[in-house]
Structure 1
Amino acid sequence: MRPIRAINVLPTLFTLGNLVCGFFAIVVASRIAKAGTVDILPSPKLETYRHIFDSIDPTHNLMLCGGLIFLAMLFDTFDGQVARITRTTSDFGGQLDSLCDAVSFGVAPAILLVKMCPDFTSVHREAVWSISALFACCATLRLARYNVETDETDDHGTFTGLPSPAAASVIASWAMFSYTLRNEINYENFAGYDWWLQRILPLCAIIIAVLMVSRIPYPHIVTQFVRGRRSFAHVVGLLFAIMLLVTFRWYVVPFVCGLYVAVPAAQYLWKLSRDKANLKKPVSGEVA
């Protein structure tokens, strides 16, 4: 065993920032009371930073948990970029990054999923817990596979299987969307939306878990859209996309996260079906 004599400080701090955000996301989710023990009323307006972090409102804490997962995603994005810019990439950094990702994008969204489905949990408690455990296990398996199969020659252009941050972003974005919707529509109408969300989200989590351990190629967003030299039209389109995200906030983010999950999977399945159809076609000149 060879001891580690030096650690790259700046990338390590960014990676640990990812872990801290994931840890506090779990803490915030854990203080949400069991369904039926607290009366859920229309969310009051939050006027101070203290109210933001000390609120007892369940939907608000779900939103805060989702926000911390997104903050962890920012740290996860920047730690690799900082390591490449400063030319301080190392095996230690890669292993540490995966360990932190397992907490922030495996355990934290799994707990968030349980807390987002209190009615479903009261009826099918074992089902939701099992789905959440499956999500966490698949995220960890995907990270372990990534560590084994990725080396220094990898161009980081695509991922094999759905990346765990993208999988976590789907659950986190719906938590943020629920809070936004609850504060902008009639409370009775929100109850109907929440009923459907609690039935659909666990099923979506199963699909997402399978996609994480699949071999479906997913694009690396930073590499394909931001890094390197791009055309003028590409930059203009990127600015409009950012403006759309900022303007409509959490109405757009769940839709974007869902597209990132669904489109590559649909393209992969379409290609498989087309290739199978081509194999069944008789070769030109061959007697049927």
Structure 2
Amino acid sequence: MGNITCGFFSILCASNYQFEIAAWLIVVAMVLDAFDGRLARMMKCTSEIGAQLDSMADLVTFGIAPAMLLIKACTDFSSVFLWGVGSFFMICAAFRLARFNIQKNDNTTMSSHFYTGLPTTLSGGTIAQLVILDHFIQVKFGIDVVATLLPFVTFTLGLFMVSKVPFFNITGKIGLKQGVWLMMLEFSAAILFFVLTPVLTLSTVLSCYLIICAMYGVVKSRHLKKEYSTT
């Protein structure tokens, strides 16, 4: 519910040209989306309604809201072009979520190591962090490079979502199994860097993850298909 509420308010903020607030709301939704499933399992209150609601919330927050943010923030392009790119991204997000639900309902063997295609959460979050980064660069250096590249990045993200390229599930490796002290060290370092430079930390982490995983997935996709049944 917090996820979809953030998505709704992000759309409203983007419509009122409050781009940075709209982008940060998507980032907040990413955090909520990362913990809702784990929290439900810890409390032993998982349900089919929760699973369906999660996908609906993801479509709003990481499909529609980033598309709206793109359309409103990139003023150097024609409206028709931006509408086309935004619609394409939204459709790819819907397809990605539907494919995941079908795999889950059909009891397809899923691996905790990889995702099939780029998750919608990371796709929408990438657009949000690029908008935040664009505002930061404009204030500091007066350069408008990120907004110029954003439509093309958005189109590429849509292709990755509907592709079968395996993306490493880094969140599956973070937990109590790796040790309490190591987990606390990781979270402490992440919080420290985020407090010091939130914009650069967010952009660096997401960009490095996407670039490394995309290259790794493309090179190793044939090998991984033999060893893993990806989600």
The TM-score, its normalising length taken from structure 1, stands at 0.70
Match of 2:218? 269
Q: 1:242-272: per-residue Cα shift (whole Å, max 9, x none)?
A: 3223211101211211122221110122235
Match of 1:24? 9
Shift of 1:237: 4.9
Match of 1:236? 185
Shift of 1:79: 1.7
The SS at the match of 1:150 is helix
Match of 1:250? 199
Q: What letter matches 1:247 in structure 2?
A: L
The SS at the match of 2:199 is helix
Match of 2:81? 127
Q: Using the alignment, how far apart are the partners of 1:200 and 1:103 within structure 2?
A: 23
1:203 partnered with 2:152: yes
Consecutive unaligned residues of structure 2, counting only runs of 5 or more, are: 225-231
Q: Of residues 105, 128, 144 in structure 1, which corresponds to 2:98? A: 144
- The answer (yes or no) to whether the contact 1:106–1:139 under 8 Å persists in 2 is yes
Greater C-alpha Rg: 1
Q: 1:25-80: per-residue Cα shift (whole Å, max 9, x none)?
A: 00111112xxxxxxxxxxxxxxxxxxxxxxxxxxxx11100011111112212221
Match of 1:108? 65
The SS at the match of 1:118 is coil
Higher fraction of helix: 2
1:220 partnered with 2:169: yes
The SS at the match of 2:155 is helix
Match of 1:159? 115
- The runs of 4+ residues in structure 1 deviating greater than 6 Å are none
- The answer (yes or no) to whether the contact 1:158–1:219 under 8 Å persists in 2 is yes
Shift of 1:198: 2.7
The SS at the match of 1:215 is coil
Q: Using the alignment, how far apart are the partners of 1:135 and 1:206 within structure 2?
A: 6
Q: Using the alignment, how far apart are the partners of 1:87 and 1:235 within structure 2?
A: 24
Shift of 1:117: 0.5
Q: Kindly, what percent of the aligned residue pairs are identical?
A: 32
Q: What letter matches 2:93 in structure 1?
A: A
The SS at the match of 1:178 is helix
Q: What letter matches 1:88 in structure 2?
A: C
Q: Using the alignment, how far apart are the partners of 1:106 and 1:253 within structure 2?
A: 19
- The answer (yes or no) to whether the contact 1:167–1:261 under 8 Å persists in 2 is no
**Cα 1:69/1:272, change in 2 over 3 Å:** closer
Match of 1:79? 36
Shift of 1:125: 2.4
Equivalenced residues, count? 222
1:63 partnered with 2:12: no
Q: Using the alignment, how far apart are the partners of 2:39 and 2:223 within structure 1?
A: 41
Q: Of residues 125, 130, 135 in structure 2, which corresponds to 1:179? A: 135
- The answer (yes or no) to whether the contact 1:216–1:264 under 8 Å persists in 2 is no
- The answer (yes or no) to whether the contact 2:76–2:148 under 8 Å persists in 1 is no
